[in-house]
Amino acid sequence: MSQKVLITGGCGFIGRYVTQELLSCGYQVRILDALIDQVHGDAGPTIPDGVEFIQGDVCDKAKVGEALQGVESVLHLAAEVGVGQSMYEIARYVGGNDLGTAVLLEAMIGLPIKRIVVASSMSVYGEGLYTGADGRRFGQVRRKAAQIKAGEWEAKGPSGETLTPAPTDEEKPVDLASIYALTKYMQERAVLIYGEAYGVDAVALRLFNVFGPGQALSNPYTGVLANFASRIANGQSPMIFEDGQQRRDFVHVRDVARAFRLALEKPRVNGHVVNIGSGQSYSVAEVASLLAEAMDAPHLQPEILHKARSGDIRNCFSDISKARELLGFEPEHRLEQTLGELAAWVRTAGAIDRGAEMKRQLEERGLVS
């Protein structure tokens, strides 16, 4: 008898790929998903054959209890997602992410569940790791508001020295620069504390910028590539905060789905937090230009705003040595080789551009400077 796995948020962008990954490897899958409008719009879910589906919020104790019956493992992906939005819809994010995780863990007590894997986020790091000219590590760098207001975008050392961004490993201390980051850190810590207390295998995967076909193109608080694609599909230039030279790590959703399956299967990963990224870094402006070319719109070059959003960081990209060691994880779908696939999907998907609306909402609340 194959193992039965509950995926919370299994109808979301990442959840759908995780579902397919597990099905292809012989798992039984049950999904709990609230189907919130911001992510799913008016479209109903497409549930693969053989998958059990329960519509319900992860904060609903009764629904969660129903979903947990008869499963051996849990992949906890259900969450509110969006750094900018979290800064003004605070109760929504704390409720959906932190209370939802608490309800799930409480409902698991006493059940024969062997492992839980939670989706955490690179946002918990705040700024990524930096090194000085002498090679010294700087693990807690934060830009000052006055510096950002003056358009000095790059992070500096404590004495104003120039720093070089470096791949961020799991040893870097967390630095929670947004409400979203705070809620994701609580999720991962709650899951790991629960696992240790109750003798349940527990793993937290810190996901970097996930991209691929199927992302919610009309949700302005989703991934940056989806935002760019929505703008370009509607004949608009991608909007980029700061100067566009901030660096990120973009990891394909199929690689992420495989990482979740490996986190279910590998005994050595129990009790660990693990980065899941591509191990590559790209400037945001570079990615916008590459996507515009892939979408046959090279004339739509990025609109550089020279403004910063509250809670944004300058540089963060992954060191995936630990994922390689504990999971046997190796990225297979590089950004440069998969933008054509993303562009082809965007042409058929249709996208409502809400980027300007997102910018206005942030500006009205004083969260753009």
221 catalytic residue (yes or no): no
Tell me whether strands 273-276 and 239-240 are parallel, antiparallel or unpaired.
Answer: unpaired
Q: In 99-127, which positions are buried (b, 16+ CB within 10 angstroms) versus exposed (e)?
A: ebbbbbbebbeebebebbbbbbbbbbbbb
* Token pair for 98: 């932190």
First-residue to last-residue Cα distance in the chain: 57
Spatial distance between the Cα atoms of 355 and 220, rounded to a whole number of angstroms = 6
- Catalytic-role residue among 17, 93, 130, 180: 180
- Tell me, what DSSP letter sits at residue 364? H
Are 130 and 138 contacting, i.e. CB atoms less than 8 angstroms apart?
Answer: yes
Q: Which helix (H) or strand (E) holds 128?
A: none
Helices 224-233/355-364 angle, 10° precision: 120
- Residue 52: Cβ within 10 Å count: 16
Q: In 253-275, which positions are buried (b, 16+ CB within 10 angstroms) versus exposed (e)?
A: bbbbbbbbbbbbebeebbebbbb
Just list the catalytic residues: 180
